[in-house]
Amino acid sequence: MTNIDFSPLFRSMIGFDRLSSALENAYRSEPGGYPPYNVEVSGENDYRITMAVAGFSPSELSLEVKENILTVSGARAEDEKETRFLYRGIANRGFERKFQLADYVRVVDARLENGLLHIELRREIPEAMKPRKIQIRGEGGGTLLEGEKVKETEMLKAVA
């Protein structure tokens, strides 16, 4: 088995500890499979997974998100009557497909239309995690961050 060494990447990347295991899992997983699916980008923070699940009813499909892993599974109910087939080309088997979700990505909606399961996803980054400009002060003080300016004003009022 081939091992991939990601240590050169980690020299300049901080906090991506899970990246190597995610890449190794993706490398090991087999491409394609059943059922076929598409992953679409429909906006800066909006995504859609479309899976071809013809023949499955909504009650036979299940979606679960646990620890940033979206699991989509389908289980067909067994036919009570025995049918003799001359040719059987339509798959009548269950499936389970897993998708690794990035942090702050949540499932917004799921709907079944014309044999296609559409799963809408949205990345919602908390305000505290969004980029912000940091002002650098010189030796004489200069400007402060907005939050620090409020704290400094409150401290000056308390001293006076």
- Predicted pLDDT at 32: 60
Per the DSSP assignment, residues forming a β-bridge with 109 are 120
pLDDT of residue 149: 52
Residue 152 lies in a domain: no
Query: Same domain, yes or no, for 70 and 119?
Result: yes
Contact 14, 92 (CB under 8 A): no
Which residues in the chain come in under a pLDDT of 50? Answer: none
Q: What is the pTM of this model?
A: 0.64
pLDDT for residue 119: 96
Instruction: Give the pLDDT confidence score for residue 26 in this predicted structure.
Output: 61
Q: Supply the pLDDT for residue 156.
A: 54
Domain that holds residue 2: 1-31
111 to each of 25, 29, 36, 49, how far by Cα in Å?
A: 28, 27, 17, 11
Predicted local distance difference test score (pLDDT) of residue 144? 53
Instruction: Output the six-digit token pair for 160.
Output: 């006076």
40 and 104 housed in the same domain: yes
Q: What is the pLDDT of residue 82?
A: 78
Do both 5 and 69 map to the same domain?
Answer: no
Question: Does residue 16 sit in the same domain as residue 93?
Answer: no
Confidence (pLDDT) at 16: 59
Instruction: Give the CATH number of the domain where residue 68 resides.
Output: 2.60.40.790
